[in-house]
Structure 1
Amino acid sequence: MTSDARPGDGAAAPAPGGARAEAERTLFWRRALAGWDAAFYALLAISAISILTVADTFPPDGGTWAALGGLTLLLLAYVLVGRRGAQAGDVRLTRAYLVVLVVVVSLCSGVSTIGSILLFVGFSQVWFFAASTREGVVASVVLAVASCAAIATAAFAAGEDPSARDLVVLGAQMAVGLIFSLALGVWITRVAERSEERAWLLEQLESAQAQLAASNHASGVLAERERMAQEIHDTLAQGFTSVVMLAQTAQAQLDAGRADLARDRLDQVERVARENLAEARALVAAFGPAALADATLAEALERLAERFQAETGVRVEVALGDAGAPDRDTEVVLLRAAQEALANVRKHAGARRVLLRLVRDDGVLALEVLDDGQGLAPGTAEGVGLRGMRERVTAGGGTLDVAGEPGRGTRVRLAMPLRDEDGPLGDPGTGTA
């Protein structure tokens, strides 16, 4: 298993390319080691049996023992150095084993005619233990040259005096083996690298998908939290404000001995509390506003105006034109906007009269809330409620305009596009007052 470059080398990699390549190489070694063990032990046993039974050795008396000693040394080096290095991912140990492998295979090729069978072991293990393609090529070339030199040297030492033709044949045979080894090794390496690259890309894709899912989940949670906060502000918080103010008024009337008026206020407290309870249940059930559950938008606005007038004593005039049949989302936005506008009148305007007007014009449904209160001072910042109203209107494709001058009241106007079966009608920006 070798590699000069890994997918992800560079800035995009989760770790330095070299560190990740070593981790992948170690994983490959550990995964494939059992199969290499079996092949190595089998070939080593075949070589030992062949040397003992049918091989010619040089020198005749000591060559056999030299070859068997080399096999024993190679076995010990494999178990104690090469295999341990592969298990631990230690490149220094695997390189030390490659040195022993080249020396032993070359020696056995020179002293035994069967020793060349170890070239199958040598070339295959070179590509298994080499840490890079370059290292595998160098080790293969050194092994081929050393084995060829050892065979030629043994022939000369035995007095065979090989001819030039014999040496050329020997070199050609070794070259063929080397070329086959290089081709096979490089091809296997490239296949392994492509497999690693696909695995790495798949891992990155899964990681990106997990991050995207987590991000979408977090965004969804945040958006839902903001939506619920706005719903609570527009409904429950305003209802509780009404309850507090009505209870304070009832208490003051009781202190003044006006029990009949206090009783009316307490009736209003009960009614507002029940409406708040209905809103809370609707929020829990993920329904729309409770006021729209059994009424049209115009009816809900009329009820809202009546309740506001009864609670505050501020006169509310309602002018409701033909609203048509807007979709539910548009009704929710308009009703919430009316609730927020009236809540601001209650808290800030000090008004005596309020006009609540609903107008359908040129493909938009416009809601206006005008009061004769103290107006807006220059540079007045928008509060939470008004920002939430603007976000609702903008999300629905509408427009919101808030205008006022000190002492001359305030006008809140929002326009929502109407939709029919063929799609949007008109421009939400048209029909402004």
Structure 2
Amino acid sequence: MATLSGLPPAPAVAGWAPVTEIAGGRGEFWRRSMRAWDIAFWIMVAITAAFSVPTAPSVARGSAALAGYVTLVVAYHLLGRRGARADDTRLTQAYLVVLVVVTSTEAWLVELGIVLLFVSYSQIWFFAVDRVRGVMWTVALTLGIIVATALRVEADPGDLPEIAGQATLGLVFSIGLGLWVTYVAEQSEERAYLLDGLRETQAALAASHHAEGVLAERARLAQEIHDTLAQGYTSIVMLAQTAAAELEREHTGSARERVEQIEAVARDNLAEARALVAAFAPPALEDGDLPAALRRLGARFAAETGTAVDVAVDDVADVPQDVAVALLRAAQESLANVRRHAGATHVHLRFARVDDDVELEVTDDGRGLRDDDLEGNGVRGLRDRARAGGGELALVGSVGRGTRVLLRLPLGGTR
């Protein structure tokens, strides 16, 4: 009686074969797992050949069995492996043809050749491009094994049902295990692609945040330069022009006073530049006294421009530094706008606490605002500071009735 003793149930080794088209396609899965499969293939084929060839009933059959193993190795290298790396299904399917023929032939040549099924069934589920074709190749290989075994043992017709029954059990187990491992591998592969996508998204998000941070820092530095150095240089230019006019009229005393003011403004600008480079607080706030800084700012503006400035500030304690910087810069920008555009004779600067907020108000009696006046960088900077601090900015005025700037910020920071 002939049997298929030793017929392995064809485990789908090493997580072979997500066979549906997922995220990156079949080729990407092959490339991910090719190295592990190479190692498994060489070891299993070498062991199978070493144990089966010596058991051949004749030298001729042993030589033929060895040639079959060599053929399988060459086909794997030229067809299966190359097709997997190039994502060429024509090569991989051609390799499966060779695999089925060689495995069936080995089962016919030598009794232990059937052990090659461990390699063959696993490779079918690895190289098949979908579940249906995986099942078809498994059935084809099982039929080949049935025929080869029957020929090798010279089975009688009565032996065929038993041979076919044992082969069918192996077939069912192989298909079931292959489909289950395929499902598990698909889930694992899908998670790997999701993780890859997440990493790419995180990298893109980090790059985007970095770029946004760079742009935000550039905008912040540009605003700081506009509110400090640019205004200081404007003051220097205007004072220098005034001093030149005084010299032409031979008013040396007044000219000397303007030169001293130029020196003071230049020193202040130098201190501001050093503070910007070192990321320190503005020099005017080194002592942490915002009301005093506002009083000094109003006095200097009056001295430089000859415009009367009333400063009414409350001694508000514990003003956070970021709020104090925003208020001081707003006062500097508002007075700079009065100097450049208003033509005012009187300015009122008020700083006070209102509930949990602080208010800065700068009012002048200059030309006011016209409907066609464009909002410049200075006003946009004031709005940005108000928005960043969680506060509000009001800018109102009418022709011939002056302008009023009111900035209100929470003492507790952004809200």
TM-score interval, normalised by the smaller of the two chains = 0.7 to 0.9
Between the aligned partners of 2:336 and 2:212, the Cα distance in structure 1 is: 30
In the TM superposition, residue 52 of structure 1 has moved relative to its aligned partner by: 3.6
In the TM superposition, residue 349 of structure 1 has moved relative to its aligned partner by: 0.5
The one-letter amino acid paired with 2:133 is E
Match for residue 394 of structure 1?
A: 387
The one-letter amino acid paired with 2:266 is A
Between the aligned partners of 2:187 and 2:48, the Cα distance in structure 1 is: 30
Aligned 1:293-308 pairs, distance under 5 A: 293-294=286-287, 296-308=289-301
2:92 to 77, 91, 94: 94
3-state SS of paired residue (2:19): coil
- 1:193 is the counterpart of 2:198: no
Q: Deviations over 1:68-104 (max 9, x none)?
A: 425414422x233222234322432332222122223
The one-letter amino acid paired with 1:225 is R
3-state SS of paired residue (1:257): coil
In the TM superposition, residue 414 of structure 1 has moved relative to its aligned partner by: 1.6
Match for residue 270 of structure 2?
A: 277
Between the aligned partners of 1:346 and 1:302, the Cα distance in structure 2 is: 17
Between the aligned partners of 2:143 and 2:37, the Cα distance in structure 1 is: 28
Match for residue 134 of structure 2?
A: 136
In the TM superposition, residue 2 of structure 1 has moved relative to its aligned partner by: 2.4
Match for residue 78 of structure 2?
A: 84
Q: Deviations over 1:219-240 (max 9, x none)?
A: 1111111111111110110001
The one-letter amino acid paired with 2:177 is L
Match for residue 72 of structure 1?
A: 67
Between the aligned partners of 2:68 and 2:342, the Cα distance in structure 1 is: 99
Q: Which moved more, 1:249-258 or 1:97-106?
A: 97-106
Match for residue 417 of structure 1?
A: 410
Q: Give the 3 Å change call, closer, same or farther, for CA 411–26 of structure 1 in structure 2.
A: closer
Match for residue 200 of structure 2?
A: 207
Between the aligned partners of 1:356 and 1:142, the Cα distance in structure 2 is: 94
Match for residue 23 of structure 1?
A: 28
Between the aligned partners of 2:272 and 2:110, the Cα distance in structure 1 is: 96
Match for residue 49 of structure 2?
A: 44
CA contact (8 A) 1:398 1:414 kept: yes
Q: Which moved more, 1:206-215 or 1:264-273?
A: 206-215
Q: Deviations over 1:249-301 (max 9, x none)?
A: 11121122121111111000000111111111111111222111125111111
In the TM superposition, residue 66 of structure 1 has moved relative to its aligned partner by: 5.4
Q: Which moved more, 1:140-149 or 1:109-118?
A: 109-118
Between the aligned partners of 1:219 and 1:257, the Cα distance in structure 2 is: 55
In the TM superposition, residue 111 of structure 1 has moved relative to its aligned partner by: 5.4
3-state SS of paired residue (2:147): helix
Aligned 1:342-357 pairs, distance under 5 A: 342-357=335-350
Q: Give the 3 Å change call, closer, same or farther, for CA 363–194 of structure 1 in structure 2.
A: closer
Aligned 1:22-421 pairs, distance under 5 A: 22-52=27-57, 65=60, 68-69=63-64, 71-76=66-71, 78-88=72-82, 89=84, 90-110=88-108, 112-152=110-150, 158=154, 161-163=156-158, 166-294=159-287, 296-419=289-412
In the TM superposition, residue 377 of structure 1 has moved relative to its aligned partner by: 0.7
CA contact (8 A) 2:61 2:110 kept: no
Q: Give the 3 Å change call, closer, same or farther, for CA 358–113 of structure 1 in structure 2.
A: closer
In the TM superposition, residue 207 of structure 1 has moved relative to its aligned partner by: 1.4
CA contact (8 A) 1:321 1:358 kept: yes
TM-score scaled by length of structure 2? 0.88
Q: Give the 3 Å change call, closer, same or farther, for CA 367–51 of structure 1 in structure 2.
A: same
The one-letter amino acid paired with 1:44 is A
Question: RCO higher in 1 or 2 (8 Å CA, sep ≥ 6)?
Answer: 2
1:3 to 11, 18, 39: 18
Gap regions ≥5 residues in structure 2 = 1-15
Q: Which moved more, 1:288-297 or 1:232-241?
A: 288-297
Q: Deviations over 1:363-407 (max 9, x none)?
A: 332221111111111142211001101110122122111111111
The one-letter amino acid paired with 2:123 is Q
Q: Give the 3 Å change call, closer, same or farther, for CA 80–379 of structure 1 in structure 2.
A: same
Q: Give the 3 Å change call, closer, same or farther, for CA 231–121 of structure 1 in structure 2.
A: closer
Q: Give the 3 Å change call, closer, same or farther, for CA 66–100 of structure 1 in structure 2.
A: farther
Aligned residue pairs total 396
3-state SS of paired residue (2:367): coil
Between the aligned partners of 1:194 and 1:350, the Cα distance in structure 2 is: 74
Q: Deviations over 1:283-323 (max 9, x none)?
A: 11112221111251111111111111111111111122343
